[in-house]
Structure formats: C-alpha cells, structure tokens
Structure 1
C-alpha cells in the first residue's frame, strides 16, 4: 500500500554450456589452476503468460534461481495496494531466500483495470471463492509453476502484505489442499468483508467474531474438506492505523479454531525483542504463530544487511525493525532447514532462555 517506483528486471537468459573443445579446455584449465568458474547468470523477475483461463485477469511474474532442481518448494508472494511484483520481491527479502534456500518464487500482480489502487479484491465474493476470479487465477499460476519446475506439491506456501495479506487468507481458506503454509502480514481474516463498505469497516476498527464463527467461514470455503490445513504465521504492527492490530487476534482465532485448538498461546516469548506466540494442536505441532511488532505502522518489517538472517530494502511500508519477517516465516515453514530441518520451527528462546524447538504441522 505504498507508491513505490516499479522496476522490472529483464527476462532471464538461459545459461549456455561449452559448445566447443576450446571452451571445454578453458573450463578444465581454470579448474586445474584453482580458478573459480564464472558465476551463473543471476535470476531475474520475468513475466509469464498462458497460465490458464485467468478469470481474475491478473499478471504472473516469477523469480526462479538458475539451475533450480525439481522437487523444490514454491512460495507465492502477494503485493499490497499500489505495489507491483517488482516492488515486492527484493524489498521483502523473498528473492534472497529463494537463492539461499533454493525455491521458486511466484509473484502475482494486480491490474489497475481490476482495482484502481492495484489491490487484490479480497472483499469480492466473485474473486475470493474457490474456482472463481482472482483466487482461481492465482491457483492456475501455481499449477503452471509446478508444471514448469516440478515444484514439490507438498511444499507450496503463500504470503502477502496488506491487501495481499488479506488475499493470502483467501488462498489458504479456498485452497487448503494446495498450500502447506500461509503468512498474513498486516492483513485480515478470511471472509471479513463482502463489499467495499464492509472492507473499510473490517480494516478499522475491525470485526470481532468468535473463534467458532471465524473458523466456520474457512470451513465453508471448501465444504467437505477434512484437512490438513495450512500452518499460519501472522504479523502485525502495534501502531498500524490502516489495518487495526485487532485483526491479528481475529486471524489467530480463525486459524486456531480451524486447526482444532484454542486461542491461548502454548508458548509466549520474544524474538528480537518483539512479542511472539505459538499455538499447538493436540499432538503438539505448532500450527499458528503470531508476531506483534511494537511501534510499527502498516507494513512488513525488514532488516537490511548481509548477515545470514538479514533481508530486505527499507522503505515506505517496509520499515527497518531489526527483524526480517520473510526469514522468520521461511523458518516457520521449514524452508531453511533450521531448527531441526524442514517441517520444524527454528529454535526460539523462551522467557527462561532455554531453546524450545517446536515442530510445525506437516501438509
């Protein structure tokens, strides 16, 4: 939801192999002398067309590390209002983690013809129902990525900021059979609004429903589906005046209910000084987590720098808060393999200072 200058990368060029004996000899000699081979061409954001019927009339962009093998995870990242795919990839750090941990990145993009502010239409039933509109377009893009790169169908995840966060709730509810995990940043619960007027009311002051009522909305999105449900990470700034912080509480209530647990945290600690709660199901799996970023306005927190856990480019709606949301989200999903490998949370330090690895629900 910020006026960020869009910049599109030029399409990726495929790498070429040595096509002659001379080229091969150069490669062998360089290896013998201990010289590092020329680095692979850096991946770049590229647009893809022809991904299905596209009833939502969206654009598809992707970032795929060169040489990515089949069987790797796929992350779908949804921008906020007035943003674009190009204004959301590096800024959030998702491209860094795609390169570092080896996964494909899909970035759907809204068109101004669909929404004057380039917001995903998370409040229109025709765009949020399974098999319809923008939700189906994003599902079709996901299918195209799996077909093109052999992405692991059991490790597909979705995240987004603001309107993209609200659309993340939509995708997790409408397509729980597609997504193993979701992360809503400064977003809204699923089916919080069905009109523009309701959307503004839902954003602020917010809608206060019971966990059961929220959970029923998700279950109604895909009737008859019995699980497993996506593991949910929820992020919100405590000083957000655009989307009221109470929406974090409502999202937690919605997804803990869907997972069959209560909204009382099983673990409450701090990460980088920020309140962090973890909610486990009956088998002890971490199915929902939440981060309240103290003093942060509307946006997604980043931590620019070159350290292993740093990411992002600070800017409007990407405040430098010394914590990288995308890095922590990726760990919650098991993308980095830390904290016990894929499918587990990273080690968190509890109030007493003792590590507490927590398994996350598999898909």
Structure 2
C-alpha cells in the first residue's frame, strides 16, 4: 500500500510528467488565477480557483478542469494547457480542488451514494455552484459548459456528465473510469478497487442504466463524451477505456462498432461513434505506449476542438487564434510550398515570452499586412543567447545552432490579407533571455 501511495502521489495527482514538459509556468497574460472563497452551496467543502482571460466575448464558454488525486486546482492550472489556450480562445477556466480524503490523498468524490444522484450533494453540487458563480460574476454562457480532468479529475468528468447532464454539454476525460464504477469509498484505492484492478466488467446496457438512474427524470440532450487513455497505464488500466466506451455509446443508443477510426497524430489511435446525423457523440483516443501521464502536449487543444469552442475567438484576442480547427497531422520531412508576403507591404511579428529560472514559454503572432493571402509560411529568427527550443504547438519548429525555423502546421498555412496566425513553444536558457531582434517570413524581413 505504501508503494501504491507513492505512485499515486507521483503520477495520479495531476503532477504529470508529460504535461509538465509542456507548460511549466503561468500564461503570459495580465490575467491571473484567483481563488473564490464564497461561491454558493458547497457540500463537498471544496476550494475554487478561476482563470478569466483579459480578452473574451460577452458570454464566454466555461471549462471546468479537474486535477488528479493529491493534486490541486492551482497545480492543474500550472501543469496543463487549458489556461494558456483560454488566452487564445476566450473561455473561462474553473479549477476545483478536491478536499475529501480517499485513503491515499484528496480526490473527487465519485464513490458516495450522495455524489451519484442528481442533487444528492457532495462534490458534484459544489462544482455546479462554481459554474453558476462564473455565470453570475463574469457572464459565462450556461449553454456552453464543459468538463475535463486527469485521473481522479477524468473520473469526475464522466461523473458530472452523468449526474448533471443539463449543465454540461460535453466532457473530455483523461485516464478516467465509467460512471458508477466504484461501489463505495472502500472500493476507491487503486490497489484494492474492483474498478481499477479491472474486475468490474458490465454490459453496455448495464453501464448505460447506471447513467440513466443518476437522474431518472432527465429526458433532454445528453452531453457528448471524449475519452483518453494510455495503453501502458499501470495505475488505471487501459481496459477501463473500453468500459467507458460501452457506457457512453449505450447512453446515446449507438453500437459498439465505430463509425470512423484514424490516427490524427503519431500514436494517437482515435475511434469515433456518430449518430445518424453524422454528429460524433463519443470519441475515444488510445495513446500507444503512454502510461498514467495524460494530458500531454496538444491534447487540451483536441479536447477544446471536440467541445466546439475553438472557432469563437475573444473579442480582442491576446494571441490570435488558428484559422481552422482541424487537428494537425504529423509533420512530414517535405517543407511546405510558400509564398512571400505581398511586395511593398510586408508583415509584422509580435513576440511575447514568459520566463522562469532556466526556462520559458513564448507566443509568436504573425500578421499579414498585405492585400493578398500568404499561402504557406516559414518564419526564421536568430537567438542572441543560448536559448534552445524543446517543443512547440501549432507549428513545426526546428533549431540549428542559434538559428530557428518555424513552419506552419497542416491547418494554419494560409494567412489572409490583414489576418494573423499564432504558434507557441517552450525553451530553455541561461543568462540573458533577450527577444529576437529580427524575424523573416518566407525570406522577407518583418516589422516586430
């Protein structure tokens, strides 16, 4: 048991190695994470933190992002990409902190009888109070509320879709289990739980009946479900993914055979289950070789795309959003065909960095000041110090010496006249971390 506690503290708490490799600092924005001490009915005794981007529409979407066992809301804020993407797409992020002990740390209550009933009490009621607070205080759109989370938070994501289907429109569950998988508190610790040791194997009908029984009076539209799991997860076994698929496809009256399957990125095997109108109701990702370490880079964006909120930018974007929402495909070794910025008009690059100790993240926005579109772009710059790019999003970034080359992703290669695209990266440095003084776009110097 001691070894299991150590494992949970190391990987299930939301302090995930893969996520930490992506975002290790707060978003580069004047907005900040704020604790709310009085948000309404709170039978779970939970803490609430909220991130509200400076630029947002009048009625922004609301995303509830939940940590793993032994973690916290501020910890998941630091270690996931949801707040950084909120700066780009203008939605509000709520970060609840679980306060109930489950024998090995504080976890979201997905085991008690009260938590399994609509309006029954415990953590689900507290979370809905947080959503209502975001609506009252910031004009959050109650027609666009979404849940996501990792490990215990992924379990709570599926839980909230079942218990409060009228509140949540969709959810993205990372390393979760089906609703109703845990019999009680004694069944929760992974080393002894029939659920997380893989002993619970119900039929799709039985899984679906558990969801319907959580709120028998509900007859409205059910929230869509996106499910993520690593094939090498040794804490919450990969077999739980198929049980979750069985549950949610049954809730929607769908069969067990996917209507489509593909590999949107290397090692991401995706199955989609659509209704007769071709609307994807359930989407499942099996991440080949991944352990208990999700979400990793790019997965938060895929969740937002499934929610459908990446096509609505903030009123005055902090960083301009991508021009399309299709997930990127793995980059090839063949460079894209590019066109230079229109002659005599040029381009502008805005570079914003957020540094800490020996690392930093940066957002780069490219604006086409010309009268015709740029089709395919390559941006280059030279570091004045020893900065070294370690990973990137929304672009393919390569570095040779102190020369950096960023090429468009498959979905953002066109920059319309007067339009912008942006990408970001993470890097290391020591000493000074000066911004680049010159950028060239497709061989043409840009103002910066």
Structure 2 gaps of 5+ residues are: 1-7, 16-25, 313-320, 330-409, 411-448
The structure-2 alpha-carbon separation of the partners of 1:213 and 1:203, relative to structure 1 and needing over 3 Å to count, comes to same
Contact between 2:157 and 2:172, CA under 8 Å: does it hold in 1?
yes
Aligned to 1:201: 194
CA–CA distance in structure 1, aligned partners of residues 328 and 71 of structure 2: 33
Q: What aligned pairs does 1:1-363 form with structure 2 within 5 A after superposition?
A: 1-3=8-10, 42-111=30-99, 117-131=105-119, 132-199=121-188, 200-273=193-266, 274-303=268-297, 324-337=298-311, 346=326
CA–CA distance in structure 1, aligned partners of residues 114 and 95 of structure 2: 21
Contact between 2:272 and 2:280, CA under 8 Å: does it hold in 1?
yes
Using the TM superposition, give the Cα deviation of residue 120 of structure 1 relative to its aligned residue in structure 2, in angstroms. Answer: 1.0
Using the TM superposition, give the Cα deviation of residue 113 of structure 1 relative to its aligned residue in structure 2, in angstroms. Answer: 5.8
CA–CA distance in structure 2, aligned partners of residues 56 and 269 of structure 1: 40
CA–CA distance in structure 2, aligned partners of residues 115 and 86 of structure 1: 22
Over the aligned positions, Cα root-mean-square deviation in angstroms equals: 2.6
Using the TM superposition, give the Cα deviation of residue 348 of structure 1 relative to its aligned residue in structure 2, in angstroms. Answer: 7.8
**Quick check: which has more Rg, 1 or 2?**
2
Using the TM superposition, give the Cα deviation of residue 129 of structure 1 relative to its aligned residue in structure 2, in angstroms. Answer: 2.3
Q: Deviations over 1:250-299 (max 9, x none)?
A: 11111111111112111110021221111101221101101111111112
Contact between 2:101 and 2:107, CA under 8 Å: does it hold in 1?
no
* Bigger helix fraction: 1
Contact between 2:109 and 2:122, CA under 8 Å: does it hold in 1?
no
CA–CA distance in structure 2, aligned partners of residues 67 and 347 of structure 1: 24
Structure 1 gaps of 5+ residues are: 7-11, 13-39, 304-323, 350-354, 356-363
SS of equivalent residue, structure 1 residue 292: strand
The structure-2 alpha-carbon separation of the partners of 1:142 and 1:114, relative to structure 1 and needing over 3 Å to count, comes to farther
Compute the TM-score of the two structures, normalised by the length of structure 2.
0.62
* Bigger strand fraction: 2
CA–CA distance in structure 1, aligned partners of residues 174 and 132 of structure 2: 24
Using the TM superposition, give the Cα deviation of residue 347 of structure 1 relative to its aligned residue in structure 2, in angstroms. Answer: 5.9
Using the TM superposition, give the Cα deviation of residue 337 of structure 1 relative to its aligned residue in structure 2, in angstroms. Answer: 1.5
Q: Which moved more, 1:235-244 or 1:59-68?
A: 59-68
CA–CA distance in structure 2, aligned partners of residues 58 and 229 of structure 1: 26
The structure-2 alpha-carbon separation of the partners of 1:270 and 1:242, relative to structure 1 and needing over 3 Å to count, comes to same
Using the TM superposition, give the Cα deviation of residue 69 of structure 1 relative to its aligned residue in structure 2, in angstroms. Answer: 3.5
Aligned to 1:310: none
Contact between 1:235 and 1:248, CA under 8 Å: does it hold in 2?
yes
SS of equivalent residue, structure 2 residue 75: coil
- How many aligned positions are there? 295
Using the TM superposition, give the Cα deviation of residue 121 of structure 1 relative to its aligned residue in structure 2, in angstroms. Answer: 1.8
